[in-house]
Amino acid sequence: MKKLLKKIFSKLLTFFYSITKNSSINKKCVINGFCKFNGKEVFGDNINFNGCKIFGNGKVYFGDNFHSAEGLKIITSFHNYKGEKVPYDETIITKDVNIGENVWIGMDVIILGGVSIGEGVIIQAGSVVVKSIPPLSIVGGSPANVFSKRDEVHYYKLKQDNRTL
């Protein structure tokens, strides 16, 4: 019964976001937790959110087969600390975020604007992503740093065989 209720809740959330927040959410998108979108997202196929909040006015591109745990925050707009006042002026700086295909993001991750996350990247729970990440990297920490790489041959074999969740 609990599994059925969870599935119904997920379908309702996905439907709600598709009609009210962003028409580019497709039928292969699954939303399992509360999400706050800014309406400037571009979604690939087979997207899975377990909770996500996007702050700011920048665009966020999600590649195919994107998966995230709870607590994902993406910040695309910032105050200008280099302006005419301290600690910052009225100028708002906006930067887009690009997330490649087959990216898996752990719980409570923060991604800042201007970042590109390469294909096949895995981001460890609790990480703060402040710079771009090369494809097939496994990263973690605050700030997030590459500490390992996926097996490239194995990854591309699975991709070629269309073995996705």
Domain chopping of the chain, boundaries: 33-160
Beta bridge partners of 116: 98
Q: Which of 29, 55, 61 is nearest to 110 (CA)?
A: 55
What pLDDT digit, counting tens, does each position of 20-68 carry?
A: 555 455 557 788 888 888 889 999 999 999 999 999 999 999 999 999 9
Tokens of 106: 């752990």
Edge-to-edge strand list for the sheet holding 30-31 = 30-31, 48-49, 67-68, 104-105, 122-123, 137-141, 144-149
pTM of the predicted model, to two decimals?
0.86
DSSP single-letter state for residue 50: S
Specify the CATH superfamily of domain 33-160. Hexapeptide repeat proteins (2.160.10.10)
User: What is residue 31's predicted lDDT score, i.e. its pLDDT?
Assistant: 84
Give yes or no for a contact between 54 and 95, defined as CB atoms under 8 angstroms apart: no
Lowest mean pLDDT among 16-25, 136-145, 149-158: 16-25
Q: Name the pLDDT band for 19 (thresholds 50, 70, 90).
A: very low
Tokens of 52: 């996500």
Q: Residue 22, Cβ neighbours under 10 Å: how many?
A: 17
User: What is residue 95's predicted lDDT score, i.e. its pLDDT?
Assistant: 98
User: What is residue 17's predicted lDDT score, i.e. its pLDDT?
Assistant: 56
Q: Which of 6, 11, 36, 79 is catalytic?
A: 79
DSSP single-letter state for residue 133: B
3-state secondary structure (DSSP) of residue 110: strand
Q: What is the C-alpha separation between 62 and 118, in angstroms, rounded?
A: 11
- List C-alpha distances in Å: 150 to 87, 107, 109, 142, 146: 41, 20, 20, 21, 11
- Residue 79 annotated among the catalytic residues of the structure: yes
pLDDT exceeds 50 at position 90: yes
Cβ-count burial 146-155 (b if 16+ within 10 Å, e if not): eeeebeeeeb
User: What is residue 33's predicted lDDT score, i.e. its pLDDT?
Assistant: 85
